[in-house]
Amino acid sequence: MEQERSTAAAWFRSLRDRIVTAFEGLEDRGKGSASAGCFEVTPTLRDQDGGGGLMSVMRGGCVFEKVGVNWSEVHGTLAPRAQAAMASRGVPGIDGDPRFWASGISLVAHMQNPHAPAVHMNTRMFWTPGAWWFGGGADLNPCIEYADDTAHFHAALRSACDAHDATYYDRFKAWADEYFFIPHRGRARGVGGIFFDDLNTGAWQDDFAFTRAVGEAFLPAFLPLAEARMATPFTDADRDTQLIHRGLYAEYNLVYDRGTKFGLETGHNADAVLMSLPPLAKWV
């Protein structure tokens, strides 16, 4: 499994590099000049055990108000709380040896224009001595919804799923609808997408291929929407709508998001874990 872990980590890193390049290119087009937008890249280290990654953040752009694209490869010992949480959802191989290894990419983009949707995507591999699995997904979070944008985003994810298993899209869309729901508000944080976790069919190559397909689908799913909306005129009322919706995003990520909880509980860099939070938000 060491070779498989190395292969997965390298692919997550390559996906991170391609997305960063694509986002910088979009920022350049938004400003109409070359080299207009660039990410600030900071190496990250875990406070305990080993490993780290790269935190890449671009702030205050013409297109992106704040966007983070993080890659990590970490290892160590699961804290009892994290181990119990995994055991509670039926993850095999958790009891006993608490060692773990994980690698993945995680991104969140908050846009300047209220008409351009915010977006989240991540893919990851997790290993313990008793098991391995993949997880990830993507979801669209428009502050001002356009039905065509929602349809385009979901169609790209459906295509990625259908190429591997005809049941995946419906299963993982329903999972996303449940997962990205804010119980105390009684509503979803956006228009959904797909979400999957603990994916281990017994065929590592097949599961890794599907995880790659989800990652590869992201740019075609999102970039056309961002490019189409980034110059749309907007009003102060549109901006208020955007900031209030960002409050929902902040509430969800701080209270319910599984990745946020795991990252903080396993000692990963707090700034990298909380990169997903919007730069500005508003509550009424």
Residues carrying an active site annotation: 120
Q: What is the DSSP string of 105-168?
A: EEEEEEESSTTSPEEEEEEEEEEETTEEEEEEEEEEE-SS--HHHHHHHHHHHHHHHHTT-TTH
Whole-angstrom Cα distance, residue 16 to residue 19?
A: 5
Placement of tokens 């804010």 in the chain: 182
Burial pattern 88-101, b for ≥16 Cβ within 10 A else e, equals: eeebebbeeeeebb
Spell out the alpha helix ranges (H) of the chain: 2-31, 80-88, 147-162, 168-179, 204-229, 236-255, 258-265, 270-273
| Collapsed DSSP state (helix, strand, coil) of residue 232 | coil
Token representation of residue 123: 């893919």
Q: By C-alpha distance, which of 20, 30, 19, 21 is closest to 228?
A: 30
Q: At what angle do helices 80-88 and 258-265 cross, to 10 degrees?
A: 150
Whole-angstrom Cα distance, residue 134 to residue 55?
A: 21
- Per the CB < 8 A criterion, the answer to whether 126 and 74 are in contact is no
- Per the CB < 8 A criterion, the answer to whether 111 and 230 are in contact is yes
